[in-house]
Homo-oligomer: A and B are copies of this chain.
Amino acid sequence: MAYQGGYPQQYGAGGGGGGYAQHPAAAYGGGYGGYAPPPQQPPVSPEIQNIFRNIDKDNTGRINNRELQQALINGRGDHFSDTACNLMINMFDRNKSGTVDIYDFERLYNYINQWLQVFKNFDRDASGHIEENELTQALTQMGFRFSPAFIQFLITKNDPINRKEISVDQFIVTCIQIQRFTDTFRVRDTEQKGVITITFEDFLGIALSMCS
């Protein structure tokens, strides 16, 4: 009831307290939507150039989902999921080709690293996974106030075989999706009551827009 129905007022705005300014939400806000390339591309660092060349196995000058997946390994030794790579590529892919060039990649690379840093901060036992209490802390620090049942749902959704933990790529996807859905909800929750009234067509439109 109080506290904007469980979601943070300023989330994604890049300001505010609680470790906020450094959160990838800031990069997210910039990279997704009205992202415009600078008139003149700044030079890409030699480090990024090297990484890009190593990932761009077919030397097309663009990195696709599969190449990114091959390059990213989570704490279980598995490649990042299709969903995670698709989601992130689509955020930085300026020409909507499903691939990123070296300039897109530089931003994508920085974005992933920011998320990895967030993940490490919350993975307090350095297990390489986020457990229930760590996820609760992470979301609370991001400004959300979810019920224990909802946190449990997030874990179970990501971990059907009951390991009770989520991997770094699942954590990134979960956080990005929560951010997006929160933004979508908030614009309709004009009185900030945490409750909205929605028509069938609007509901379908939101749901279909959010799913790839």
Contact = CB atoms under 8 A, between A and B. Distances in A.
Interface of A: 5-7, 65, 82-83, 86, 96, 146-147, 150, 153-154, 157, 160-161, 174, 177-178, 181-182, 184-185, 189, 194-201, 203-212
A195 B197 contact: yes
Given A195-B199, A196-B197, A198-B195, A150 B204 contact: yes
5 contacts: A157-B208, A178-B208, A182-B200, A207-B210, A210-B210
Contacts of A146: 201
A83 B82 CA distance: 10
Contacts of A201: 6, 146-147, 150
A174 B212 contact: no
Given A194-B199, A197-B197, A211-B210, A204 B178 contact: yes
A96 B212 CA distance: 21
Nearest to A147: B201
Contacts of A211: 177, 210-212
Contact of A160 (B96, B182, B208): B96
Contact of A185 (B153, B196, B204, B212): B204
A153 B195 contact: no
A24 B147 CA distance: 37
A88 to B, nearest CB: 15
A132 B44 CA distance: 43
Contact of A204 (B96, B182, B197, B212): B182
B5 A200 contact: yes
A211 B177 CA distance: 9
Contacts of A160: 96
